[in-house]
A and B are shown apart, each in its own frame.
Chain A
Amino acid sequence: MTAVRPFRPRSGFHADQRAGRLFAAYLVSLLLHGLLLFALAGGWPGHAARSDKPPVYYVDLVHKPVLDPQAGRPEPRTPDTPVPAPPEKAPVRAAVPAGPAAAGSTDRRVAAALEKLRDERALQEKFAAMRQAQAVPKETPVGLSDARGTEAGVGTLAYVQAAIQQNWALSPYLLADPRKAAGVEAWVRVTYSRNGRLERFSFEMESKDAQFNESIKRALVKSQQLPQPLPERLEEVRVVFNLKAMKDLAGLR
């Protein structure tokens, strides 16, 4: 008998053609995609913790620019600081009529006594003012020291200067450089509209340090729009930038 040879050749093992392995890979892939969707939908533990953090807004209610700032507000009246009593008037003795020779010397004595009384009175007023100033707690917000107005807040110019100062930053290397003289200073003329928009600025006096001048320009560009409108238009006012002040602010003396 002749051995019958198969006409169709046998293929090899083809073990990997089993559908089971591909199906298992499909299940793994589906699982991976499901996990990814779950993470994107916010189900991931760290996701909620990050997204639930509420935003924080800082509003500066103390330094509101006003037209007519008061020097300090409010000035609490503390019980242990009595209101200074008005200085007692020194009794003026009745002038004794004297002879013409003695009249000139008496006038001089009276004038000297009056002068002394005025001095004492001025001194007492100063003491009273000092006691009053000490009676105000330090944490009480105050306006400008030289202001004499009625509105709570700071003056327009002081507000603008503070706003520009906040945006002013120097390289820490420059700030820490002891060779930089404390006299590095620049004056800038700025014009702000009533809605707090910087209209123009120009250097009235540039410092010799180019990096310092650049930092001022950057601060002015950052301060193009102030956070609050101004009570009045500021026309060509001078703002002084001083490196020493900047170092003091940074704690580098």
Chain B
Amino acid sequence: MELITNAGLVVKLVLLILAYFSVTSWAIIIYKTLVIQRATRDSARFLDFFWARRRFDVIAQGLDDFRHSPLAVLFRDVHQELLQNRRAADGGGEGLDADLGEQDRVARVLRRATTSETHRLEKYLAFLATTGSAAPFIGLFGTVWGIMDAFHGIGKSGSASLAVVAPGISEALVATAIGLVAAIPAVIAYNHFVNKVNVLIGEMDNFCQEMLNVVQRLPRSRQER
């Protein structure tokens, strides 16, 4: 603790920035762990539920049980789109895309929902990447500044003994150490979460293809039932 309290103003500022990076990184790590864990678990459960029911209206009624699954979001958006199309067809109304085929509209809805869910899953991961790459450099800056300060003091005192040089360098090196402490968990967590999100994105792509096939196969009159 003395190393931190005895450090110069710039080094203290660097340590404060690094502390912010570290606290926020760990908050994101905890938060994303919960989010991705729930998304993975609910997606697996939703797929079982989806293929067991096979009726869109029944599936739509049970969606509240899979609130964290991105696949459930895709299904919900597609189902709402189909309902709106049906209402428009029954009422004889003309929407902006009334002349386009239903398949194309469903495909567009799926693409939009997939993009939205991917964005949600990847949210805050950029901060982890930034911490992993920038924190060591910020710490290094603090160290360089601290060593410059220490050498300036040595030059003023006129003594170059180890007792004079060592404390300043030791205080300066704390910044690099804390930078690494902030960066290492962030890099590990970032790689882990990116891998998990890629798995979920793959599942969403597969589900999109399956949904398009199902929509194409089912007769229009049965889609609402």
List chain A positions with a Cβ less than 8 A from chain B. 1-3, 5, 7, 9-17, 21-22, 25-26, 28-30, 32-33, 40-42
Report the Cα distance A9→B96, complex, angstroms: 13
Given contacts A29-B23, A33-B22, 12 further A-B contacts (CB under 8 A): A2-B93, A5-B95, A12-B77, A12-B116, A15-B68, A21-B34, A25-B34, A26-B24, A28-B27, A29-B24, A29-B30, A42-B1
Q: Are A2 and B91 in contact (CB under 8 A)?
A: yes
B209 near A: Cβ within 8 Å? no
Query: Nearest chain B CB to A124's CB is how many angstroms away?
Result: 67
A10 touches B80 (CB 8 A): yes
Q: Which residues of chain B (145-161) have a CB below 8 Å from chain A?
A: none
Q: In the bound complex, do residue A26 and residue B91 qualify as a contact, i.e. CB atoms below 8 Å apart?
A: no
- Residue B215 interfacial (CB < 8 Å): no
- Per the bound structure, the CA–CA distance linking A9 and B97 in Å amounts to 14
B27–A26 touching, CB < 8 Å: yes
CB pair A25 B120 closer than 8 Å: no
**CA of A2 to CA of B89 in the docked complex: distance in angstroms?**
10
Q: 6 shortest A-B CB distances, which residue pairs?
A: A12-B73, A2-B93, A29-B26, A25-B31, A29-B27, A25-B30
Q: In the complex, which residues of chain A have a beta carbon less than 8 angstroms from the beta carbon of B76?
A: 12-13
29 pairs across A/B with beta carbons < 8 Å? Answer: A1-B91, A2-B88, A3-B87, A9-B112, A10-B80, A12-B77, A12-B113, A12-B116, A13-B72, A14-B120, A15-B67, A15-B68, A16-B38, A16-B68, A21-B34, A22-B31, A25-B28, A25-B34, A26-B24, A28-B26, A28-B27, A29-B24, A29-B27, A29-B29, A29-B30, A30-B23, A32-B26, A33-B19, A40-B1
**Minimum C-beta distance from A48 to chain B (A):** 13
Given contacts A2-B91, A16-B68, A33-B23, contact A28 B30 (CB under 8 A): yes
Q: Does B109 contact A (CB under 8 A)?
A: yes
Which range holds the interface residue count of chain B?
Answer: 35 or more
Interface 1/0 per residue, B11-41 and A, CB below 8 Å: 0000000010011111111110011001000
Residues of A within 8 A of B96 (CB): 7
> Which positions in B face A, CB cutoff 8 Å?
1, 19, 22-31, 34-35, 38, 67-68, 70, 72-74, 76-77, 80, 84, 87-88, 91-96, 109, 112-113, 116-117, 120
Distance A29 CA – B31 CA, assembled complex (angstroms): 10
Which residues of chain A are near B70, meaning CB under 8 Å? Answer: 12
Contact residues in A for B91 (Cβ distance below 8 Å): 1-3
**Residue in chain A with minimal CB distance to B181:** A36
The winner among A5, A7, A12 for most chain B CB atoms within 10 A is A12
Q: Are A13 and B95 neighbours in the complex by a CB distance under 8 Å?
A: no
Are A3 and B88 in contact (CB-based, < 8 A)? yes
- Complex CA gap A67/B60 in Å reads 103
**Min distance, Cβ B200 to any Cβ of chain A, angstroms:** 13
B26 and A21 within 8 A (CB): no
A5 to B84, CA, bound (A): 7
Q: Please, which residues of chain B bring their CB within 8 A of the CB of A9?
A: 77, 109, 112
* Distance of A228 Cα from B22 Cα, bound (Å): 52
Chain A residue numbers with a CB within 8 Å of B84 are 3, 5
User: Within 8 Å CB of A40, what residues of B?
Assistant: 1
Contact present for B27 and A13 (CB under 8 Å): no
Least distance between B91 CB and chain A CB atoms (Å): 5
